Each structure stands twice: as structure tokens, then as C-alpha cells.
Structure 1
Amino acid sequence: MMVLVAVCLPLFLIMAAFAVDVAWMQLVRAELRTATDAASRAGAKTLSLSQDEIAARIAARDAALRNTVAGQGLIVDDSQIEVGTSSQSTSTSRFAFTPGGAQLNAMRVTGQRTASSSAGPVALFLGRVMGVPQFQPQHIATSTQLDRDICLVVDRSGSMMRDVDSRTVSGSNCGPPNPTLSRWAGLNNAVLGFLNELDTTPQTEKCGLVSYSDAGNHCGFNYTTSDINAPLDFSYAPIRSEMAFLGSRAVRGNTNIHAGIQNGRAVLTSGAQRPFAIRTMVLMTDGRHNTGPEPVLAARLAADEDITIHTITFSFEAGFSRMQAVAAATGGTHFHAPDSAALERIFREIASTLPVMLTE
């Protein structure tokens, strides 16, 4: 019996060493993954909010240090942090990270407990019995911040006074649009829904407002072709206020979509635009472009400035093919809303994106 015990004891010790150390290694790997992911997310978030690469690196290091790996905070050197761009070649493909770039939107962090890292390798409890005193785990995490600076470009031409089926609704010809039945009412609800959707995202997007029709004097009011009603701002109160003001009097005039796009470009290339943010224009019309230069020409200029235009047609009278061409010229998407409920749903869909994603 004693002989059997003597023979089996070393095997038991080896098995115990293996079981304890395997569990320890799994725990450390999980801790390293958590710490590295947290560092990557914190860095990408700070890059978005501050637009400052140095601040983003500091945030990543601080987040890593707050998370323990094998009993001590993870130390991440500057060489283990990469700031760059992350993008998809198609809407269904994986994000690919490229260090550097003009519009920085991602951070890749390499978390290490290796011989070459500041914290060194992780000691094993019983592995040294088998001649393996330590192990050296590594984890890589990339977080992508899908920031957007957005300009809403809305149609305030005379047809917005009618309902979606082009019927005249009750109210004075020179009074404000019908608050429930008019196309303007549907647009106003959709814009408010869009802003409410942005309010639910983890970070704050910048948003501005442009309106367009054409110049003229109607009902005792002077109308301009297009106005920048609200510049880019983290606060959406000016947009809500301007939409209420525009709806407080008759909306009038023809449809100069080109002028709306041009002012949208001005908003998205202004000093308020964040250098690392994706520039997005949401262009809505209920009719057909019938005055001013060709809108596709303005869209091509927007594309040269890395502005994506998503177009929305509202009502059967809208010019579908032209708005599809405007969206296509900038890599955007065209949507059609047959009624007010669909219009709000589309606006909310465009607003609701996942701002920060762990992409590696």
C-alpha cells in the first residue's frame, strides 16, 4: 500500500498543480480581457468627447490601471495604444482598423502580462514543479466610436401646408399649418422624435437645422430661399425652438433643394464641426425640386467634403429619382415615407445607431 501511495503521490501533485494553475490562468485571462476592453472603450469615448488624442491615451491608461490583473492594476504603455480609423467595406463586413488617418474614430489597446511588459509575466502556483514558473497572456481590443455631426435639412415649401394625400386641410391660407393633419405637422413630430432618439444615446451628438423653400413675400412675411436655423450644437433646444417658430406661420414657396444642401454643407464644414466626427446630412422633401441649380451638383460637392446625405421623400408627389441620385452621390441611403408615422419611424431609425462598439 505504501508503495502504491509513493508511486501515485507525484501524479496527484502534478494533477493538482495542473488543475490549480489552469483555473488561475483562466481567471487572469478573463481579467486581462476585461481590463483591455475597458481601456479601449474609455479611450474611444474620450477621443469622441474631447477630440484630443493625448487625452484619449490618458483615459485608456487610467481605465486599464483601475482594473486588476493577477492582483495588480494593468499597466498599459503608450506603445500599446494605437489611435486610428475603423471602417467596414460593406454594411455586413467586419470593421477593419488602420492606425492613423484624418478622421480618427477608434482605439486599439494591447493588454499584456509578458516578460517585455511593465508588469511582467504572471507567476504560476505549482507550475514550477513542472518547470513552468509563469505564463504570459496577451489580449487585443479595438473600440470604434461612431460619432456623427448631423444637419437636418427640411422642406418648408407651400405644399407642406397640405396633407400627405395632397388635400387641403382646414385652416387659414395665411395661417400656420394644421397642427395635426398637415405634412408640416408630420415633419415636426418626426424631427422631435429624431432628437428624442439622440437624447437616448450614451454620448451627445452635435446637430444643426437648415430649412429651405424659395425667396418671396407671402402673407405679409418675407421668406428667404434657405436659412441656417440652428448651428451645430450639443444642445437640441435651438432646433426644437426653431421648428416651433417655423410652424407658427404659413410655410410658403417653391422647392429649392440645392439651396438647402448648400446651407447644410456650410453647417457641416463650420468651425463647430468636430474634426474626427462623421458628417451626416438628413435631407427631407415632400415635393419636386422646381427652382435653382440641380441638387445633385451640390451633393457631389458634399461628397468631396466627406459628407453623407441620407434623403427622405414624403408623399407621393416627391421626386423619388432625384433624391435617390442625391443620396447615391454621397454614399447615403434614400428612404420613402408614405405617411407621417413612417416619416417619424425613418427619422428615428437614422438617429438610432450604436455609438461605441467593441470591434475587435
Structure 2
Amino acid sequence: MNRSIPNRRGSTMVFVVIMLPIIFALAGMAVNYSYIQVCKTKMQIVADASVRAAGREYVDSGDRDLALAAAQNMSNLNPVGTTTIALSSGDLEFGSSYKFGSNQKYSFNPTTGQGNAVRLTTNTFAGGGGDAPIPFFAVLGSNFEIRPTLTATNTQSTLDVALVVDRSGSMRSPADPAEAQIPGSEPDDVPLNSRWLDLVDAVDIFLNELNSSASTEKASLVSYSDNASDDVNLSSNYSAIRSQMDAFSDSFPGGYTNIHEGIMFGINSVTKSGYSRSWATRAIVLMSDGNATAGDDPLLAAAQAASLEIPIYTVSFSQEADQILMEQIAADTGGRHFHADTGAQLEDAFRSIAQAIPSLLTQ
């Protein structure tokens, strides 16, 4: 008995005809998705750059209108294709950003007073302000605009730093003991080849480095021998520090080496109300050319600095300096230790510290 075989000609073509629009739709969705992700990535980069510009302006001038103008200018300079992300005053929040522990993230808190941080949220753009890119392919016969809500936070980690310098009697000597001269009666001007004058030059280099920072850094001066003295309060004008260093050069007091009290005065200097900034990164630069010969154990003061999260960057100067102690102080507080045997090395150390103490930008 013959059985008839059904004729299936054209069935594959029907399947192709049915599936082809689906394939095209899926392909269009894939292209759109990729394009949307690329746009969002580029827009986030623009938001980051804009809030970074606003943050620098805000910390330097304290003017919120200028900060907004800086953000808008940066956005205008970096269009995404033909689209410029519109920004208005409602997109920026001003406040302070703190890091409460070495393993913690920065926390932003809006404030009506002066702070160190700006948070940008693209509310104006997301709400329909200005032009926006559209996907390549329409969805269900209509196009839509790509308007993500993006957020970026900029923290300008401005610096409050205390220079804590050794003015003990040994600082009248040269870095090379073979060049030592018999000192005159104290107080007296220091010899031309003294360690103190090497320090004066190194401090000047340090202050020049701070001046070149994009942020406004404050510095103070503490000096110590038998006892410590609070010589210059925190200020972004460093001329008083230079003047005081020169004054010591003309009439050098000398004495023993009370490193403990020098550190404690340094802590007080970078936390002093009316001069220190609550949002600033605080640090101490401690210099000594010898051993602790007066006062309490310097490591006790270092522990106090560590509890307040104030790093101490230490510089030991000359072959007689207690490098082990200075290394330990730096290690205990999260700072770094530098050693110098010559005036040139001392200058390099202070330059390196100015560059190593972070004026960080965190997001």
C-alpha cells in the first residue's frame, strides 16, 4: 500500500520569515543596550570631572557660585557626542567628608558652613534639562532619551601640617662633625655651616612645595630644645614661618632635646581651635639631629598622635641622630622616616615629604 508523503516545501521559509523580525529586534536591543552603557560610562566620567573641578574651586575660594560655574564649564568642555550634560545649582551639595578610620570609606555630610567636599547628582539632566542622546533603534515604534541619574562626590583633602624642628645646641654644629667650630656664647647667631641653616633651606623648599599644591595648605611652626614653643600658628601664608626661622638663626637659643614635648606641641598646633580645619588632613613633620635628652619618652607622644590619626613624618639629620627612634615614631603613627647626612639630603627629604603627604582627591 502506497503512503503519501506530505509536501513540506516552503516550511523553512515560513520559519525564517517568522524569526527574522525577532532576530532583528534582539539585535537592535543588543545594540541599544551597548550604546546606553557606553553613554552612561562617558556621562559618569563627565560627572566625575565636573565635580572634581567644583571641589577644587570650593575648597580654594569657598564660593559656591564659582564652584557651580567650574562644574558647568567642565561639563561644557566634555560633551558626550553632541550632548552637554546640563547642570544647575540644585545638582550640587556642599559639605564635609570625613574618614573615621584607616579602613573606612569617606562619609559625606551636607553642611551650611565651609567644608571640603562637593556631591553632584545630575537631577537637572535626568529631569529633562538640555539635550540627551537617543538609542539607534526605536522601541515599539518610539525613541526615548538616555538620561541617567548619576552621582559623584569629590573630597579635597586639604592639609594642616605642623613643622616640629629641633633647635637644641647640637644644631649649631655642621652635619659633618669634622667641620665643627667652637660655638660662641648662646644665644648667638649660628655658624654658616651649621645644621640649623641647612634646616632653614630645607624648610623653605618644603613651603615652596606646599605653595605649588592645587589646594590651600596650612602650615605651622613648633620648635623644641629643653622645652617646646608654639612659634607660628597654622596659616596658608608661610612668611611668618620663614621669618621665625631667620630670627632663630640670628639668636639661637640652644639647649637639650625634648622630642616628647615637641610632638605634643605639634599635636596641639594641628588641632587648635580657630586655626585648624575640621575637614583637613592633619600631619606632623618632626626633625631631630640627635637623641632625646630631656622630657618623657617620645613614643608616648607618638601614641597620642596615633590615637588621633595624625601621622608623623620624621627626619633624622646627622650621623649622631637616633634613627631607630625616629623610624619607630613614624611606624607607630602611619608616617614615613627619612634620614639625611648632608644638607642636600635634608633638602631632598623635606621635598619628598611635601610630595608624600597626600592632598588626596577621593570619590
Tell me the TM-score normalised to structure 1 length: 0.75
Tell me if 1:281 matches 2:284.
Answer: yes
Match of 1:148 among 151, 159, 181: 159
2:19 alignment counterpart: none
Contact 2:283-2:311 within 8 A present in 1 as well: yes
Match of 1:122 among 111, 132, 141: 132
Deviates more, 1:116-125 or 1:236-245: 116-125
2-structure distance, mates of 1:279, 1:86: 12
- Cα distance, 1:351 vs structure 2: 1.1
- Cα distance, 1:297 vs structure 2: 1.2
What amino acid is aligned across from residue 262 of structure 1 in structure 2? M
What amino acid is aligned across from residue 260 of structure 1 in structure 2? G
2:225 alignment counterpart: 213
Secondary structure of 2:276 counterpart: coil
2:120 alignment counterpart: 109
Change (3 A) 1:106 1:81: same
Tell me the TM-score normalised to structure 2 length: 0.74
2-structure distance, mates of 1:262, 1:89: 21
Calculate percent identity across the aligned residue pairs. Answer: 33
Contact 2:340-2:346 within 8 A present in 1 as well: yes
2-structure distance, mates of 1:235, 1:284: 22
Deviates more, 1:275-284 or 1:136-145: 136-145
Match of 2:262 among 234, 244, 260: 260
2-structure distance, mates of 1:25, 1:249: 70
1:235 alignment counterpart: 237
Structure number with higher strand proportion = 1
Secondary structure of 2:267 counterpart: helix
| RMSD of Structure 2 on Structure 1 (CA) | 3.9
1:198 alignment counterpart: 210
Contact 1:113-1:136 within 8 A present in 2 as well: no
What amino acid is aligned across from residue 309 of structure 2 in structure 1? D
Q: Deviations over 1:88-112 (max 9, x none)?
A: 998xx9x95544499x755443446
- Cα distance, 1:259 vs structure 2: 1.5
Change (3 A) 1:80 1:190: closer
Tell me if 1:187 matches 2:191.
Answer: no
Match of 1:350 among 343, 349, 353: 353
Q: Aligned residues, how many?
A: 327
Q: Deviations over 1:240-276 (max 9, x none)?
A: 0000010112442110111111211221121200110
1-structure distance, mates of 2:322, 2:181: 26
1-structure distance, mates of 2:216, 2:355: 12
Q: Deviations over 1:122-179 (max 9, x none)?
A: 2539744964343235655443322110110000111111112334534752342222
Consecutive unaligned residues in structure 1, runs of 5 or more: 1-16, 215-224
Q: Deviations over 1:302-337 (max 9, x none)?
A: 223332211111112111222222222322212211
- Cα distance, 1:213 vs structure 2: 0.5
2:340 alignment counterpart: 337
2:190 alignment counterpart: 177
2-structure distance, mates of 1:158, 1:168: 16
Deviates more, 1:306-315 or 1:76-85: 76-85
* Structure number with bigger Rg: 2
